[in-house]
Chain A
């Protein structure tokens, strides 16, 4: 009966596990008298900045001995699955992180607590206002980053092409990309994904509008839109690798650039640290525009759950995490996106770091930025715009038809 004995032992083990599991579930509720526990869920510290976040938490707890912050870190890819389920179960963390694109959905659905008496003056105004919905402040900006044009100096030199400048337009970029591409040596001139995120930006660079002023109708199927989409799509296979070359697989572009096989790369400043040890000279410049300049900017914000029983303590924590000097220092020292503070003097240490030399471009790009167009059914819109554009890029549809179809579908989403 060894089998049976084994089974009994297994069941006993399972029950023991259960017992200790419950033990620790009851533990969390028991916060000491007068102390409050703030649960904070985030994605941005995952894979590299966990220690930086811990440092900020410790600084906050030292300043606020009555509050304990319990950090839950979830990778970005799974973050929203977990967040939605916990909101559905009435079990959301007291405070959590939301990127700007998703903020509107949560604010409009009553999942967020309105913040009281926030000092908005410490933040860059445009960033602060981004977390205002229907006249109520539902969040504070936590950090931001933007997109610039990375370029490989060695490849430019080798091909005898003048390096990009802030005055470049699309035409200069196209001409340089054509000269820099050397398919025999598997060197590509340019990399800019065909996607929603790139499209709304080039649309803005071409003077087009994605949505009308009151966000009730899509307006990107315009002559400007068609020209912008063609600018993106024409690169594919000519100066930019196709899907079959590997484009779109994880980390393809960063490996390509780092191995010295990519001359120009449209990507975010979050790549600075990953490229720091690239074995060649590289620099960045504000992205070229067409009729005007427009750089993509991505903002993360911090919010308090509407269901939180510790809203006051939670707000204290997110304000600290967003704007304290401790945070600003930690972020700048570890290149963990940029702090959203209004006082630019505090950002000075960022410019002093080596590589890339032209860090001023990061701030220059902020002068003319474009935020992602946001609607309540954001993810669906992003997916279908990307899908139509990739169809056109693969030659399955003319660009004009793809944009018209995308616009009809986006309008459908806006009506529902």
Chain B
């Protein structure tokens, strides 16, 4: 497989190198049907399964959200009653606030950490492959294990973290046993686990930056710091854009780590939106409200994503 692609690459890159800045040739305008044919050819293989196995269930859940339903007896029409109840419920505001706090704390941690890691492991280091694999290991480790380890590390009385904090004279928080600190504990462990994810995406992005650009910048006599800001970061922006959009979409749907670390506690202080959706559906027999809540969540995520896509022109540089 390697040989073939290298060849393909050579033929692809070959003519381009000598290509002068060609004036854009007006493309042949094939018949509209033919163009549509190509669009369908490339899109249908993904569009059909996404439509059948995700969009249809999404529309069904929209229908469910207009009913009172405990899954085991027939649905009862309530119109927008579920939405009205949820929007008036203090619980809804609380779970959204917790989710927002989580996302705001988690995203910078995981992005900056992942970026530093990607930059460090993009250097020529001995054992680089091994190190990259090591940093990726937490991504594939199950949350059950990670949660137990972090609960031990963040144990308020004899955890490693508090022992270190105490030794350098900093206050020792109660972490997952304290309503004030339960969310930060979850944030910290999530960021730690997802560092490898961000690293892999950004590494792939760094690899795509042609070395010539760095060399050109070095010839100009710019410092490594300047090169980072002027070359690396702008050229990494498509990857950054991807990481930010996906991390926000996933971050707003944070669930597993909360479920295994705090189960929403203590006293509901770390209950997040999807945690509430899970409880409502499968534990409390209130699937209608759960669906309505997830559509409110959908609206929030959609809004944030649209804003990002609109705003990308200002800072995302495509080749």
Does A associate with B in a complex? Answer: yes
Residues of chain A with a CB closer than 8 A to B4's CB:
1-3
Among A81, A244, A391, find the residue whose CB has the most chain B CB atoms closer than 10 A: A244
Of A3, A109, A110, A396, which contacts B179 at CB under 8 A?
A396
Can you list 20 A-B pairs with a CB-CB distance of less than 8 A?
A2-B1, A6-B1, A80-B283, A85-B71, A87-B71, A105-B70, A106-B72, A243-B266, A244-B156, A249-B148, A249-B151, A377-B285, A379-B284, A380-B283, A383-B279, A387-B265, A387-B268, A390-B265, A396-B266, A396-B267
Within 8 A of B (CB), among A276-317: none
CA separation between A6 and B267, bound complex, in Å?
52
A140 to chain B, nearest CB (A): 20
Complex: A249 Cα to B144 Cα, angstroms: 12
Asked whether, in the complex, the Cβ of B73 is within 8 Å of the Cβ of A245, the reply is no
Instruction: Please give the distance in Å from B64's CB to the nearest CB on chain A.
Output: 10
Least Cβ–Cβ distance between A75 and chain B, in angstroms: 13
Given contacts A85-B71, A390-B266, contact A105 B285 (CB under 8 A): yes
Interface of A with B (CB < 8 Å)?
1-3, 6, 80-81, 84-85, 87-88, 105-106, 109-111, 242-245, 249, 377, 379-380, 383, 387, 390-391, 394, 396
Whether A244 lies near B174 (C-beta < 8 A) is yes
Residue B157, interface by CB 8 Å: yes
- Residues of chain B with a CB closer than 8 A to A3's CB: 1, 4-5
Interfacial chain B residues near A87, Cβ < 8 Å: 71-72
Using a CB–CB cutoff of 8 Å, the interface residues on chain B facing chain A are 1, 4-5, 70-73, 148, 151, 155-157, 174, 177, 179, 265-268, 279, 282-285, 287
Closest CB-CB distance, A312 to chain B, in whole Å?
23
Q: Are B71 and A379 in contact (CB under 8 A)?
A: no
List residues of chain B with CB within 8 A of the CB of A106: 72
| A-B contacts, CB under 8 A, total | 65
**B266 touching A84 by the CB < 8 A rule?**
no
B267 and A84 contact, CB distance less than 8 A = no
A350 to B157, CA, bound (A): 44
Point out the residues of chain A lying under 8 angstroms from B283, CB to CB.
80, 379-380, 383
Task: Report the minimum CB–CB distance from A233 to chain B (whole Å).
Answer: 14
A109 touches B177 (CB 8 A): no
CA–CA, A88 and B70, complex, Å: 9
**Closest Cβ–Cβ distance, residue A240 to chain B (whole Å):** 15
What is the distance, in angstroms, from B174's C-beta to the closest C-beta of chain A? Answer: 7
CB-defined contacts of A387 to chain B, threshold 8 Å: 265, 267-268
B151 smallest CB distance to A (angstroms): 7
Q: Which of B174, B266, B282 contacts A391 (CB 8 A)?
A: B266
Q: With the chains together, A377 CA to B179 CA distance in Å? A: 26
CB contacts (< 8 Å) of A394 on chain B: these are 177, 266-267
Q: For B266, what are the chain A residues with a Cβ–Cβ distance below 8 Å?
A: 243, 390-391, 394, 396
Beyond the given A391-B266, A394-B266, please list 7 additional residue pairs across the A-B interface where CB-CB is below 8 A: A84-B285, A244-B156, A377-B284, A379-B285, A380-B284, A390-B267, A391-B267
